[in-house]
Amino acid sequence: MPRAASQTALDSWRSRVRAAPGSTALVYFDRTLSVGETDDLSDAVAVVLKERGVGCGDVVGIALQNCPQFVLTVFALWKIGAAPLLINPMYHGEELEYLLSDSGAVGVVCDTREAEHVSATGEQVDAWSLATSSRHFQTRDDDRVLGPEPAAAHQADLVELAVRRLGERPGVIIPDPASCAFLTYTSGTTGPPKGAVNTHAAVLASASGFASVAGLDERDTVLAMAPLFHITGAVINAVVGLVSGSPLVLTERFHPEVVLDAFVEHHVTFTVAAITAYLSLAGSTRATPEVFAGVRALYSGGAPVSPATVESLERRLGHYVHNVYGMTETTSAVVAVPLGTRAPVDSASGVLSVGKAMPGVTLRVIDPDGSPLGPGGQGELEVSGPSVVPGYWRNPDATADAMPNGALRTGDGAVVDADGWVYIVDRLKDQINTSGYKVWPREVEEVLLRHDDVQQVAVVGLPDAYRGERVSAFVVTKPGSAVTDMDLIALARKYLAAYKAPREVRLVAHLPTTTSGKIQRRHLRSQNLNQQGNNMI
């Protein structure tokens, strides 16, 4: 892991370059880049970006999937003192324009497939775009790293430009640990998205702390299964691998069959991904314990995991999936299940623990007045420590509201027991009020997930003229299942008080999720439930 003198992930990377320039840094399908090659190419990209006018303190968007160009651009921006704005490549129109406008980004690096709409949007806010092809680096059919012409004919490809500038250096800049390393926007569930300022110090603290909990070092091979444009993928997949000395395996977009190939071909030992990704892998007929024979640790973050799901995955994959918890505002991981430890289940709610506080992290559970509760008390989780962001980008009011006195109020309902195990009961705003009774959706979901035919569940409160809100469940069943909505209502009534049991169950093909795997309950609330197949009681 990084030397004690390291204050940023770039410091740690430079130490790795000096110590082992010939070791493998990146693996992309059948091509590899050594540490030295990665450093040289990122220097050349930095030269190209400086020529585009990028200077210290500027923000540049990266709208790429998991490819080497993502890593090269991040390093290049850090080397010239600029900050990467992480952008979901699927963002179009107003979503993209809002991020570029609010962040003040001077440019965007994107895939050739997205170049046209990114360029058009950038023109609205005076930001240039530079395209690159995901097909670069994928083959050794020839010795060039050049690919086809980019979609926008007036733009030269990023890699093509970088290869022409190999050997040139951008000049030495040492980033201030308090400056922005990643600008990452929240999902905007409670208003417009807000830009979290993930500092260089916070990125290193999160990556180093998680690596120590998971026991990662240069003997591992890290698979970037989570998207790098999300804080989980950026920090506890990419940065963790790059600063711990591990090869980082990239597979562009997530596809279960491609990822299964990567586990075998590249001898993957470690990854972090949303539970939905693991469920997708488990759904393949090729997913057997033999495929994961070389794995040392699997972690899941971004969305709640039920005890039943963990048990099912362990039977299917041959490995226990450890929980990890974090937020955009905590620069990813702050709570994790220590490697080799099995998380306990909260007896009151049936919720599986997300772990214990990572090194340097302080947790409190507080009541609505901000007063701390003792062990076992249920309230809002508050987090403080070196990985918590100092605030939101150019938004002091939102900062003061979410981080009074520097501690982050997460909005998550939680319990911390006497042994330090953390249980996330639910988002506070998702609590259902039915006939004056309070219901946590997670508690209902955990019961429904006990059914062998149930794969995913989301429980929400929907408007009800009599009760105010009624408990409603959306359920994804396993292929070939014959379970009915009334079967599941009966199951819930067996284990829950009458007011907690869903009054309707809807069987659906899939649930809406964010890129990090979180189920978007607000989308379910907005759907019309008066369709055939619902039973309301």
Picking from 175, 193, 209, the residue at the C-terminal end of a domain is 175
Angle at which helices 275-282 and 256-265 cross, to 10°: 80
Mark whether 419 and 442 lie in a shared domain.
Answer: no
Q: Specify the pLDDT at position 527.
A: 63
Residue-wise pLDDT for 252-276, tens only, equals 999 999 999 999 999 999 999 988 8
C-alpha angle 400/406/408, rounded to 5°? 80
What does DSSP say about strands 321-327 and 297-300: parallel, antiparallel, or unpaired? parallel
What does DSSP say about strands 222-223 and 437-439: parallel, antiparallel, or unpaired? unpaired
The number of domains in the chain is: 3
> Region 269-288: what's the mean pLDDT?
93
Helix (H) and strand (E) counts in the chain = 16, 25
Mark whether 382 and 483 lie in a shared domain.
Answer: no
CB 251, CB 262: distance < 8 Å: yes
C-alpha angle 181/186/191, rounded to 5°? 140
Is residue 41 situated within a structural domain? yes
Q: What residues pair up with 273 in beta bridges, in sequence order?
A: 300
Q: Three-state SS string across 494-524, please?
A: HHCCCCCCCCEEEECCCCCECCCCCECHHHH
Q: Specify the pLDDT at position 516.
A: 67
Mark whether 360 and 500 lie in a shared domain.
Answer: no
- Mean per-residue pLDDT of the chain: 89
Domain residues for the domain of 502 are: 431-536
Please write down the long-range contacts of 256-261, taking CB distance under 8 Å and 24 or more positions apart: 256/280, 256/281, 256/283, 256/284, 256/287, 257/284, 257/286, 259/223, 259/225, 260/284, 260/286, 260/287, 260/291
**Biggest CA pair distance of the chain:** 72
Is residue 344 situated within a structural domain? no
Residue-wise pLDDT for 193-209, tens only, equals 899 999 999 999 999 99
Residue-wise pLDDT for 229-255, tens only, equals 999 999 999 999 988 999 999 999 999
Gap between the Cα atoms of 105 and 102, Å rounded: 8
Q: For tokens 């195990």, what's the residue?
A: 421
Is residue 291 situated within a structural domain? no
C-alpha angle 421/423/424, rounded to 5°? 145
Cβ atoms < 10 Å from Cβ of 253: 11
Picking from 369, 393, 428, the residue at the C-terminal end of a domain is 428
C-alpha angle 350/352/354, rounded to 5°? 145
Distances (CA, A) of 395 to 87, 196, 206, 317, 513: 19, 10, 23, 44, 27
Mark whether 410 and 473 lie in a shared domain.
Answer: no
Mark whether 392 and 497 lie in a shared domain.
Answer: no
Instruction: Read off the CATH number of the domain in which 44 is found.
Output: 3.40.50.980
Secondary-structure percent of the chain, ordered helix, strand, coil, rounded to 5: 30, 25, 45
Is residue 389 situated within a structural domain? yes
Mark whether 44 and 171 lie in a shared domain.
Answer: yes
Is residue 209 situated within a structural domain? no
Mark whether 171 and 69 lie in a shared domain.
Answer: yes
Is residue 399 situated within a structural domain? yes
Q: What residues pair up with 456 in beta bridges, in sequence order?
A: 476
Is it the case that residue 301 has pLDDT exceeding 50?
A: yes
Residue-wise pLDDT for 304-337, tens only, equals 788 988 999 999 999 999 999 999 999 999 999 9
Mark whether 169 and 37 lie in a shared domain.
Answer: yes
Mark whether 141 and 121 lie in a shared domain.
Answer: yes
Mark whether 376 and 456 lie in a shared domain.
Answer: no
**End-to-end Cα separation, the chain, in angstroms:** 57
Is residue 413 situated within a structural domain? yes
Q: Which SS3 state, helix, strand or coil, does residue 80 take?
A: coil
Residue-wise pLDDT for 437-479, tens only, equals 778 888 899 899 999 999 999 999 898 877 878 999 999 999 9
Instruction: Read off the CATH number of the domain in which 439 is found.
Output: 3.30.300.30
Tokens of 141: 């059919």
Instruction: Read off the CATH number of the domain in which 422 is found.
Output: 2.30.38.10
> Region 414-428: what's the mean pLDDT?
91
Is it the case that residue 161 has pLDDT exceeding 80?
A: yes
Residue-wise pLDDT for 364-414, tens only, equals 999 999 999 999 999 999 999 999 999 999 999 999 999 998 899 998 999
Mark whether 407 and 449 lie in a shared domain.
Answer: no
H/E stretch holding 70 reads helix 68-79
For residue 5, name the pLDDT band (cuts at 50, 70, 90): low
Q: What are the backbone angles phi and psi of residue 496, rounded to the nearest 5°?
A: -120, 155
DSSP letter assigned to residue 328: G
Q: Specify the pLDDT at position 513.
A: 82
Picking from 137, 159, 175, the residue at the C-terminal end of a domain is 175
For residue 149, name the pLDDT band (cuts at 50, 70, 90): very low
295: left (phi over 0), alpha (psi -120 to 50) or beta: beta
Share of the chain above pLDDT 70, in %: 92
Gap between the Cα atoms of 479 and 283, Å rounded: 9
Q: What residues pair up with 474 in beta bridges, in sequence order?
A: 458, 506
Is residue 211 situated within a structural domain? no
What does DSSP say about strands 83-86 and 468-477: parallel, antiparallel, or unpaired? unpaired
- Between 435 and 286, name the one with better pLDDT: 286
Mark whether 404 and 451 lie in a shared domain.
Answer: no
